[in-house]
Structure 1
Amino acid sequence: MKSTGLRLSYLILLFCSVFLSRSTAQDVPAKNRSKPFSFPPQLEMRVPFGPTAFPNGSNFYLIYELYLTNFGASPIHLKRMELLNGDRSGNAPVLSFDSLELKTMVKILGNNNLKDALNIEAGQSAVVEAKTSNKTGFPNNIIHRVIASADSLDGAAINTHTTKIQTLKPPVSGSDWIAADGPGNSIDNHHRRGNIILGGHTVNSRRFAIDWKKVKDSVSFSGDAANVRSYFCYGEKIFAVADGTIISATDGLPDNIPGHGKAFHPAVPLTFEKLPGNNIVIDLGDGHYAHYMHMQPGSLHVKKGDHVRKGQLLGNIGNSGDAREPHLHFEVTTSSKLLYGDGIPYIIDHYRLGYQNGFDDVHHNELPKEKQIVDFGNARER
């Protein structure tokens, strides 16, 4: 009898404990229940080459690329991106980009459909062509916050002063020069969208490149469009932007007959080495190299190994190599090898902006932006 009573007491106690545990769980509000464990968004964020802020007008600018790769099994839909001050914690974003702004900045790699640019499918990668400005400059360190439909992620810390900014003389002289495809973020800017893979790495030597052309009444030539001498800049003198050493000097390639699109027929078959046409590379020091491309055949005044002084005559503008019309392609990069370096900003010591109302907007130690029309003054003033 005693053992039967003990068993009955045990069963009653077990029933009560199960009932109480169930009723307790049901009484806990849903908002207070712990969420099941999950990993943060499986989104890799990286900036292959850190930016350097540069001045133009009343603003400072950053231009760089942020790469995103979705390592998860579900799509990630981008809603917003914020730049946070990496030198502080818990503060408001320095700058932010909403979905409308991101649509003009994001490209899914291998897919040019802008309608899907903010939707990164599983296994896909995207590049954010970032360009931002600030009147007071930028913090030394910035952290990116990517906000998606379901979550957000902080990462890809960068320094905003990655390279030294050199002060250079202009590569040409005179007025009416347009900074074609210069530093900017226009969708049709082929320099800005110049990311390629070389040596297994992502590079963009053309990030801050400028195609210097002369314009009058918004056009670059007068007369026969198929004649190089119809172009206002053809034969214009090219100058050394700083003291330095000639790393390479290539001459002997003929000018192309000007033509765009299907009308472009290079004078000689293009190879990787012939893309710049007749060209010069100057070692500026500090790991910086100035590249001059598409020069006039037979015009080079220097050879490999020469030491040049700033303002020294180098040659003349032509239309050789991968050039559709006469212009000077000028860029500063981190490598003397064609396209292998990353494009870096620099500043020009003196120029004026303007056009129809005269060039009365004076700028010192700044870098012209895309489509600005510039007066560099006379060569004798250099």
Structure 2
Amino acid sequence: MPPTATARSLQGVRKWLVLLVALCGLIGPVAQSPAVGQRYTPIVMSVTSGPQWFKGTDGSYSLVYELRLTNGFGTPVKISSIGVRDGDGKPLVRLAGTRLRRSLTLLADPTKPTLEVPGSTVAVAWMQLRFAHRSEIPSRIEHVLTVRPSPGLPVPRSIADVGGRAKVDLAGPVVIGPPLVGDNWVAVGSCCDGPHRRALQPVNGRLFLGQRFAVDWNGMDAEDRFVNGDPDTNAGWTFYGKPVVAVADATVVEAVDRFPEQVPNDARPVTLQEADGNYVILKIGPHQFVGYAHLQHGSVAVRAGQHVRRGDPVGALGNSGSSTGPHLHFQVMDAPSLVAANGLPFVIDRFTEVGTIPPLSAALARRLARGLPAPIDRHGAGPQVDALPLGRDVVDFP
């Protein structure tokens, strides 16, 4: 039966509606004006996990966390400043200019500082707030973010927003004993100036930062030498094979000892499963675990389910897994995994601060590789109680 005039008219309307819907899909959603009291905020702020604090060997108290910045616009947004306030609105710190740039990276490129967040992209502000006294640490924080969207958008040229509210974990750091024994140990990588701090990993559908407070331990002999032999062999490093010990009474959760040693400065590629090398994980308390990685092949002295006492042998310092030279990677975390966990702050209950070595320049690296003594700034040397050795600290353990 031929269509009636009315049916033909309805078919025409349907065709126009289909065309209109298709065009809207190409152009994108129509920007609507927010209701009264609402406004567009191109960057959405969130704190990845509860801010946590520790005391360092410099006597200051550091509050550490990550502020995630998600650009909800399809165009770049420049970050002008990040202010931090306590729960009562009292300003604590303001990051801008060079200081802000050093603290801000894209999620996918944590080594490259930036002040601009591309459209539909996530950035991370790696936050560390320092306080002279523990009593100054706030119980809550919030952030004041000032940004400049790309020109030509129906928004102000500068936008300030308050968000990223978070409750501070005031429980304090985990107190442990030393993971090594003897003198002249060097915290080559520690919180919060090394690659550990920014090793945010997407694992099992979540973002984890198990290495947030991790330390890489190297050592020197009595003459302050890292090397006493061929630096291209493990045995040439003065601290290779030294005992690694339990930091507390604990239960062994996992112990792996099947991966070969790497050759210093000529490491072969490894899989994700081999990245930690030979490792041990201990449970030292409810939701508190410690991890020792890159242990020497054949040295692991414990097995899963075993109970150990503080100071008991765990293994020996090695060079297995994703490692370019002998060292002990040590961290405290909230789950029994070196990767799928969040790092917890920790302090060592008793040790002696010897001094600090300079940043590792190419010239210093060549000097150390030749077996020459490391220069040590001994300012601030003395006993330490319940503190975390900071980057490049030289310490003696009981």
Tell me how far apart the structure 2 counterparts of residues 258 and 163 of structure 1 sit (CA, whole Å).
Answer: 40
Partner in structure 2 of residue 350 of structure 1: 350
Q: 1:230 aligns with which of 232, 236, 261?
A: 236
Q: 1:179 aligns with which of 183, 187, 201?
A: 187
Tell me how far apart the structure 2 counterparts of residues 41 and 164 of structure 1 sit (CA, whole Å).
Answer: 34
**Equivalent residue runs for 1:215-294 within 5 Å:** 215=220, 220-259=226-265, 263-265=266-268, 270-294=270-294
Give, in angstroms, the shift of residue 229 of structure 1: 0.8
Partner in structure 2 of residue 21 of structure 1: none
Cα 1:79–1:359 change in 2 (3 A) is: closer
Partner in structure 1 of residue 92 of structure 2: 94
Contact (CA 8 Å) 2:81, 2:147: kept in 1 or not?
yes
**1:160 paired to 2:173:** no
Tell me how far apart the structure 1 counterparts of residues 287 and 110 of structure 2 sit (CA, whole Å).
Answer: 35
Tell me how far apart the structure 1 counterparts of residues 52 and 242 of structure 2 sit (CA, whole Å).
Answer: 31
Contact (CA 8 Å) 2:60, 2:132: kept in 1 or not?
yes
Give, in angstroms, the shift of residue 135 of structure 1: 0.7
Contact (CA 8 Å) 2:110, 2:198: kept in 1 or not?
no
Cα 1:78–1:60 change in 2 (3 A) is: same
3-state SS in 1 of match to 2:100: helix
Give, in angstroms, the shift of residue 119 of structure 1: 1.6
RMSD value, Cα: 2.3
Partner in structure 2 of residue 19 of structure 1: none
Cα 1:118–1:297 change in 2 (3 A) is: same
Q: Report the number of matched residues.
A: 330
**1:198 paired to 2:219:** no
Partner in structure 2 of residue 151 of structure 1: 159
Give, in angstroms, the shift of residue 73 of structure 1: 4.4
Query: Which segments of 5 or more consecutive residues in structure 1 lack a partner in the other structure?
Result: 1-35, 378-382
**1:133 paired to 2:135:** no
Give, in angstroms, the shift of residue 274 of structure 1: 1.6
User: For residues 251-298 of structure 1, what are the alpha-carbon distances to aligned partners after superposition, in whole Å with 9 as ceiling and x for unaligned?
Assistant: 132211111xxx3226xxx22222111111001112011001111122
Contact (CA 8 Å) 2:83, 2:94: kept in 1 or not?
yes
Partner in structure 1 of residue 102 of structure 2: 104
Cα 1:201–1:163 change in 2 (3 A) is: farther
Query: Which amino acid is 2:384 matched to?
Result: H
Tell me how far apart the structure 2 counterparts of residues 45 and 155 of structure 1 sit (CA, whole Å).
Answer: 6
Give, in angstroms, the shift of residue 324 of structure 1: 1.1
Q: What is the percent sequence identity of the aligned residues?
A: 27
Contact (CA 8 Å) 1:41, 1:151: kept in 2 or not?
yes
Task: Point out 4+ residue stretches in structure 1 off by more than 6 angstroms.
Answer: none
Cα 1:53–1:223 change in 2 (3 A) is: same
Tell me how far apart the structure 2 counterparts of residues 164 and 113 of structure 1 sit (CA, whole Å).
Answer: 29
Tell me how far apart the structure 1 counterparts of residues 95 and 380 of structure 2 sit (CA, whole Å).
Answer: 34
Tell me how far apart the structure 2 counterparts of residues 177 and 191 of structure 1 sit (CA, whole Å).
Answer: 19
**1:361 paired to 2:367:** no
Tell me how far apart the structure 1 counterparts of residues 107 and 303 of structure 2 sit (CA, whole Å).
Answer: 40
Query: Which amino acid is 2:161 matched to?
Result: L
Q: Which moved more, 1:98-107 or 1:213-222?
A: 213-222
**1:376 paired to 2:376:** no
Q: Which moved more, 1:162-171 or 1:193-202?
A: 162-171
